Structure 1
Amino acid sequence: MTASLQDTPVGRLSGHDIYLFREGSHTRLYEKMGCQLDEGGEGASFAVWAPNARAVSVVGDFNGWRDDAAPLSPRPDDSGLWEGNVAGVRSGALYKYRIVCANGEIAYKADPYAAYAEAPPQTASRAWRFDYAWGDGDWMQSRSRRQALDTPMSIYEVHLGSWLRPEGGGLPGYREIAPRLAEYVSGMGFTHVEFLPLAEHPFYGSWGYQCTGYFAPTARYGTPEDFMFLVDCLHRAGIGVIMDWVPSHFPSDAHGLAEFDGTHLYEHADPRQGYHPEWHSSIFNYGRHEVCAFLLSSATCWLDRYHIDALRVDAVASMLYLDYGRKHGEWIPNRYGGKENLEAVAFLRRLNESVYREFPDVHTIAEESTAWPMVSRPVHLGGLGFGMKWNMGWMHDSLDYFKHDPIHRKFHHGRITFSIWYAFQENFVLPLSHDEVVYGKGSLIARMPGDDWLRFAGLRCLFAYMWAHPGKKLLFMGGEFAQQAEWNHEGELDWGALQDPRRGALRLLVGELNHLYRAHPALHARDFDTGGFQWVDSENSDDSVIAFLRRAEGGRDVLVVCNFTPMLRNNYLVGVPQGGYWREELNTDAALYGGSDAGNFGGVEAAPAPCHGQPWSLALTLPPLAVLYLVPEGDHGSTQG
């Protein structure tokens, strides 16, 4: 059949849809806009927002890419939408919008609402009919319980194209990698996988952070159903799926959103507001309601259509501040003369209200690097409404502390204790992410000082301290076995390094940390509650030793003692709240983790000798550059009310 406009009624957008679109509150435009295939025949309705265009038509392989074969008509309601029904369109068909701009220039644009796209470097959109039967019912029904804030969340961050590649090279496919990733992550004890952005992006080297397809999984790894299979497979293995999502900026590729109808439609026209100087990309205009509805619908699409369990929202700080990455005079103050982006703040609040209203069992997680208050507090209390926030301060302070030679750490003791002062102001995730192992920063193991033994001991110490610190956990792939080189997105992880017994031992430790974190409520149930943490000793800077209790209501405390120097310390007294036998649940210096095997022979009996303000004390052997977890045995429980 020759493609042409049909005589049937145009469009799937109702008057109510238009109202919500123009109000900026529509959250399901992916069901209405773009290419919507007819249910029973060969054809589709198209709808695109291009208010300043002179003319719009659909060109594709179904009409020989002829400019005049399928013109769209503007709606008569001043919405700026162009609509039309086109015959001959089947699932998989390639298409673009041909836009005659206000100045007469011609632009060929990919569909902003496309569900699928050509694999880059090709840039056309694809018409797509979904055909997938989900098998993750058990996960979805139990997700509310599994993702409650008092449950463990240990996240394995993954760049899909460089985790593991097939024999012979090339990129992996969603389906082929799914069972291997699920088995690995489950075996390691992580609760969630977080993917660097998988929305379609033209430049592979952007890692997905320069996105053009806000509703389309990248075709580099397969079809939308293939991506569904990956999520489904992880869910059936009991693993949650987090995806990085980028509503902060977009690239200026000719087929993308930039100057979509010949004008600055999705972005601000003034480069002081609409151009990001650090990333050389365009900034969304959050004051335009239709743009907000586009982004709200994108977020909803990933959560609804693809069963994503959480969105990690990238670069929130760049959205909040008008002067982000800019020098004096390079930005425009808000209406009160301040640097806060009031329109972005309103959008983020609306986003979080919308997500939690429609999906109360998912999370939004902010990558926000400043001291903006109440990021993870409800909107009705004056917060931004995110569920959690990355703790960038903890990350910077911890890595700075661990880079120092242990002999000098006593002069930097505050770096390792300061985070507790603000640990409960937000619902924090502790991130050791991809950003910390690129651009010359070195791998985690390479940043540890000293010889090989000290470096591995230092990394074991960092991980055990991190898993005991209040907050959820995130580790970028390769960190679990101390990959030596920086991460390279063009290859795969150095799996051959696991032939080194020290790296296998470190990976064993990370698995054990996940096991203990999940097994002991004291280590996770009160991550966001001041009652879940109590200092025992934070002042011993001379020895670079800290001790604290993680506490659970009605459960057993976990005593954590960290020795940040390679000095073996005998008969080291640490106060505890109760008597009896304290079992040594973890010792990072154990031989099976690659340590020297110093320790306490499985545990210590508490003596009725007050210490550190506690009525009892333990005389411990502190292994060199190691962390101990100790748990009281018997039915003592916690003495905390």
Structure 2
Amino acid sequence: MTKVVPHSLFSDFDIDLFKSGKHFKLYEKLGSHVVEVDGVKGTYFAVWAPTARTVSVIGDFNGWSDSEYQLYVRWDGSGIWEGFIPDLVEGTLYKYRIHSNNHGVVTEKADPFAKSCEHPPKTASIVWDASHNWKDKEWMGSRKETNALDKPYAVYEVHLGSWKRKFDNEFMSYRDLAVDLVAYVKDMNFTHVEFMPIMEYPYDPSWGYQLTGYFAPTSRFGKAEDFKFLVDTLHQNNIGVILDWVPSHFPEDAHGLGFFDGSHLYEHPDRRRGYHPDWKSLIFNYGRNEVRAFLISNAMYWLDHYHIDGLRVDAVASMLYLDYSREEGEWEPNIYGNNENLEAISFIRELNETVYSNFEGIQMIAEESTSFSMVSKPVNMGGLGFGMKWMMGWMHDTLEYFKKDPLYRKFHQNDLTFSATYAFTENFMLPFSHDEVVYGKQSLLYRMPGDEWQRFANLRLLFGYMYTHPGANLIFMGGEFGQSSEWDFQNSLDWHLLEFDFHKGIQNLVRDLNTLYKEYPALHEKQFSAEGFQWIDYGDHENSVLTYIRKGHDTKKDIYIACNFTPNPKKKYRIGIPITGSLKEIFNSDALKYGGSGLENGTLKTSKNPWHGYENSVEVSIPPLGMVVFSQ
């Protein structure tokens, strides 16, 4: 006889919403919830398993036996099993054992809606409340303004397991990071952190991109409320938080979502659409209402319960195309005969419309590597509805250019200037992410050519060019001080390198670039608009020099940039200027404090000497492998 008491948190309206795929707060109903029924405290469980014959809650409270705690299936055809178990409280370990109607298959699964999970390799779910007394009211109240698209986005991408470790190579906890990481990000003047996936995952080498606990912060670094404390502390220091989020695929681990109730419940049943050959993982069935509700509820959960300011959606390209990473014969066209995944596109649009309508001041950011149009345009204009898109083409072309010997760069200047032809087709974020410093690609520093001085000068120039190019900015941890080696997820960054002047110089430069980007409106007010950028001259291939203007709302605050991509200083280099008066140098990547040669300009007077199509011009010194920025 079951010891489960009939009880439900679902109304008929909830069930109607769930069946239609429109219930976007399923985390309030499904999963485990500590409640009181008839004066008795215990835990209510609810799980979606429509192919199940029986569903039992098993755990440390009953010796993992499925004979006593069977849930009740709802009568309404929703496929939801539920019930209340008295006296089970926070901290209880549990799973669901599901006997399927599908040929008697038996599965043993973690709770898809668990708010806490055991530390891998253990796989049980944990009944948990994760309560936290938030103190970020000021941040949340002003977020609509501070997190807007015309505000600065200087993003520091972080892998929590390897940013910094303790002396015994143990992980820092969420609360440790709330001290060290927050102080560092604030000192470096980054506006946001982006965490690589912190949702629970079983396999460390996946870096968190193979999720099994979509609603649970990984237990590697502490409890769920500890992660809330980290987010809260970041907010109290005026730092926004972006999470990597993976709705594109999930692993086949036995305790995960795959073949959940003895059927293809969450994944698409056709392997041509339900299996990812690159990552050996399963693909969500975006055409199934309940799966869409699961994923949108998950996005809502992190924005709601964890006060997250944005989600960077991983591997969007793999969702958009039916033939992504597939050979001929391994995919089937859609009803129109082309390769677009219409169900995934519909899901993405609904996702973005839903979260933007429910949360002020958040941003959805697409990691999308193809030329799919209107990714960051509103849904009502025919777009996908993201706020920003990673500018993968810019990243690739820029790194290809910088790795070339400066002697030959004059033949490849188009690698840099081409981005201006499409820079405003989307709201682009410029990413130098973790993907660019792994798998033999080398660190950013060691992709630069030349001797030691030239490598560091090139890296300083790379970052200076990045921060003055239209768009928001993202740097993966370690890049900001010129990490020499590739990223290793099993070890701390090489913080000892900051004992050396060149590395310290890179760090000083990035700190000051973040300040420049925040303090000069011309660099962010129109960062996604063609009105915010104007070439002075992009055609001086022979000298490998680029000159351009960045503009904000106030034309008196425009800034002027000159980049020299060779190791030969360009003294008395004349550039046309649309103003008269004086120019003041406000940034120079060749400054001594950055490890440069110290070729600086100070204040310069314009002259009535027509140049580059302007009536006025000015002679500037552009340092070797350097860039300079001037204001009026």
Alignment map for 1:72-111 (pairs within 5 Å) = 72-101=71-100, 102-111=102-111
* Structure 1 stretch displaced more, 447-456 or 83-92: 83-92
Answer whether contact 1:207 1:489 (CA < 8 A) is retained.
yes
2:2 and 2:205 map into 1 onto residues whose CA distance is 38
Structure 2 counterpart of 1:280, which letter? K
User: How far apart are residue 170 of structure 1 and its match?
Assistant: 1.2
* Structure 1 stretch displaced more, 264-273 or 503-512: 264-273
Structure 1 counterpart of 2:492, which letter? E
* Structure 1 stretch displaced more, 40-49 or 113-122: 40-49
Structure 2 counterpart of 1:166, which letter? K
2:494 and 2:40 map into 1 onto residues whose CA distance is 50
Residue 506 (1) aligns with residue 503 (2):
no
Report the equivalent of 1:37.
34
User: How far apart are residue 41 of structure 1 and its match?
Assistant: 4.2
* Structure 1 stretch displaced more, 101-110 or 490-499: 101-110
Structure 1 counterpart of 2:57, which letter? V
Report the equivalent of 2:268.
268
Per-residue displacement from partner, 1:216-246 (whole Å, max 9, x unpaired)? Answer: 1001111110000000111111100000000
Alignment map for 1:237-636 (pairs within 5 Å) = 237-554=237-554, 555-600=556-601, 602-632=602-632
User: How far apart are residue 167 of structure 1 and its match?
Assistant: 2.3
1:610 and 1:560 map into 2 onto residues whose CA distance is 18
Report the equivalent of 1:18.
15
Structure 1 counterpart of 2:23, which letter? H
Structure 1 counterpart of 2:92, which letter? A
Report the equivalent of 1:124.
124
Answer whether contact 1:3 1:63 (CA < 8 A) is retained.
no
Structure 2 counterpart of 1:450, which letter? G
* Misfit runs of 4+, over 2 Å: 39-42
User: How far apart are residue 42 of structure 1 and its match?
Assistant: 3.1
2:563 and 2:23 map into 1 onto residues whose CA distance is 51
Per-residue displacement from partner, 1:387-427 (whole Å, max 9, x unpaired)? Answer: 11000011001000000000111111100001011111111
1:339 and 1:489 map into 2 onto residues whose CA distance is 35
* Structure 1 stretch displaced more, 393-402 or 101-110: 101-110
User: How far apart are residue 148 of structure 1 and its match?
Assistant: 1.0
Per-residue displacement from partner, 1:345-387 (whole Å, max 9, x unpaired)? Answer: 0000000000000012101000000010100000000000001
Report the equivalent of 2:180.
180
Answer whether contact 1:3 1:62 (CA < 8 A) is retained.
no
Structure 1 counterpart of 2:258, which letter? A
1:60 and 1:69 map into 2 onto residues whose CA distance is 11
Q: Partner of 2:540: helix, strand, or coil?
A: coil
Structure 2 counterpart of 1:19, which letter? D
Answer whether contact 2:547 2:563 (CA < 8 A) is retained.
yes
Residue 48 (1) aligns with residue 73 (2):
no
Structure 2 counterpart of 1:589, which letter? D
Q: Partner of 2:9: helix, strand, or coil?
A: coil
2:115 and 2:82 map into 1 onto residues whose CA distance is 18
1:260 and 1:389 map into 2 onto residues whose CA distance is 33
User: How far apart are residue 569 of structure 1 and its match?
Assistant: 1.4
Q: Partner of 1:503: helix, strand, or coil?
A: helix
Report the equivalent of 1:636.
none
Q: Partner of 1:430: helix, strand, or coil?
A: strand
Answer whether contact 2:522 2:550 (CA < 8 A) is retained.
yes
1:599 and 1:624 map into 2 onto residues whose CA distance is 11
Q: Partner of 1:160: helix, strand, or coil?
A: coil
> Aligned Cα RMSD in Å?
1.1
Report the equivalent of 1:637.
none
Q: Partner of 2:557: helix, strand, or coil?
A: coil
2:568 and 2:136 map into 1 onto residues whose CA distance is 50
1:288 and 1:189 map into 2 onto residues whose CA distance is 44
Q: Partner of 1:47: helix, strand, or coil?
A: strand
1:3 and 1:458 map into 2 onto residues whose CA distance is 69
1:570 and 1:74 map into 2 onto residues whose CA distance is 80
TM-score (norm 1): 0.97
Answer whether contact 2:581 2:606 (CA < 8 A) is retained.
yes
Residue 4 (1) aligns with residue 3 (2):
yes
Q: Partner of 1:409: helix, strand, or coil?
A: helix
Structure 1 counterpart of 2:67, which letter? D
Structure 2 counterpart of 1:78, which letter? G
Answer whether contact 1:3 1:87 (CA < 8 A) is retained.
no
User: How far apart are residue 603 of structure 1 and its match?
Assistant: 2.2
2:496 and 2:127 map into 1 onto residues whose CA distance is 42
Answer whether contact 2:314 2:366 (CA < 8 A) is retained.
yes
Structure 2 counterpart of 1:25, which letter? K
Answer whether contact 1:580 1:605 (CA < 8 A) is retained.
yes
Answer whether contact 1:201 1:210 (CA < 8 A) is retained.
yes
Q: Partner of 1:318: helix, strand, or coil?
A: helix
2:575 and 2:595 map into 1 onto residues whose CA distance is 26
1:615 and 1:465 map into 2 onto residues whose CA distance is 26
Q: Partner of 2:228: helix, strand, or coil?
A: helix
Q: Partner of 1:417: helix, strand, or coil?
A: helix
2:564 and 2:127 map into 1 onto residues whose CA distance is 59
- The size of the alignment, in residue pairs, is 628
Call closer, same or farther: CA 1:3–1:581 in 2, change over 3 Å: farther
Structure 2 counterpart of 1:493, which letter? L
1:257 and 1:80 map into 2 onto residues whose CA distance is 16
1:226 and 1:442 map into 2 onto residues whose CA distance is 34
Answer whether contact 1:190 1:514 (CA < 8 A) is retained.
yes
Alignment map for 1:89-238 (pairs within 5 Å) = 89-101=88-100, 102-238=102-238
TM-score (norm 2): 0.98
Structure 2 counterpart of 1:89, which letter? L
Per-residue displacement from partner, 1:433-480 (whole Å, max 9, x unpaired)? Answer: 000000110000000001101100000000000000000000000001
Gaps of 5+ in 2: none
User: How far apart are residue 268 of structure 1 and its match?
Assistant: 1.2
2:242 and 2:2 map into 1 onto residues whose CA distance is 40
Gaps of 5+ in 1: 633-641
1:214 and 1:335 map into 2 onto residues whose CA distance is 32
Structure 1 counterpart of 2:451, which letter? D
2:2 and 2:224 map into 1 onto residues whose CA distance is 25
1:89 and 1:371 map into 2 onto residues whose CA distance is 52
User: How far apart are residue 131 of structure 1 and its match?
Assistant: 2.3
2:68 and 2:34 map into 1 onto residues whose CA distance is 18
Answer whether contact 2:2 2:67 (CA < 8 A) is retained.
no
2:215 and 2:360 map into 1 onto residues whose CA distance is 21
Residue 27 (1) aligns with residue 29 (2):
no
Q: Partner of 1:592: helix, strand, or coil?
A: helix
Per-residue displacement from partner, 1:563-582 (whole Å, max 9, x unpaired)? Answer: 00001112111011111110
Per-residue displacement from partner, 1:54-82 (whole Å, max 9, x unpaired)? Answer: 11110111222221111011111111111
User: How far apart are residue 161 of structure 1 and its match?
Assistant: 0.6
1:243 and 1:623 map into 2 onto residues whose CA distance is 38
2:370 and 2:619 map into 1 onto residues whose CA distance is 41
Report the equivalent of 1:67.
66
